[in-house]
Homo-oligomer: A and B are copies of this chain.
Amino acid sequence: MTDHVDRVLEQWARERPDLDVSPMGVIGRLGRLSRLVDAELRRTFAAHGLDHASFDVLATMRRSGPPYRLNPAELMRSAMVTSGAITQRLDRLEARGLVVRSPSETDGRVVHVTLTEEGRALIDRVLPDHLATEHRVLAGLTDARRGELAGLLRELLESLGDRVD
Chain A residues near B (Cβ < 8 Å): 1-8, 11-12, 14-16, 19-27, 29-38, 41, 62-65, 78, 80, 127-128, 131, 134-135, 137-141, 145-146, 148-150, 152-160, 162-165
Contact = CB atoms under 8 A, between A and B. Distances in A.
A57 to B, nearest CB: 14
Contacts of A29: 150, 153-154, 157
Given A23-B134, A64-B11, A140 B152 contact: no
Given A15-B63, A63-B15, A20 B131 contact: yes
A33 B137 contact: no
Nearest to A151: B25
Contacts of A149: 26, 149, 152-153, 156
A97 to B, nearest CB: 22
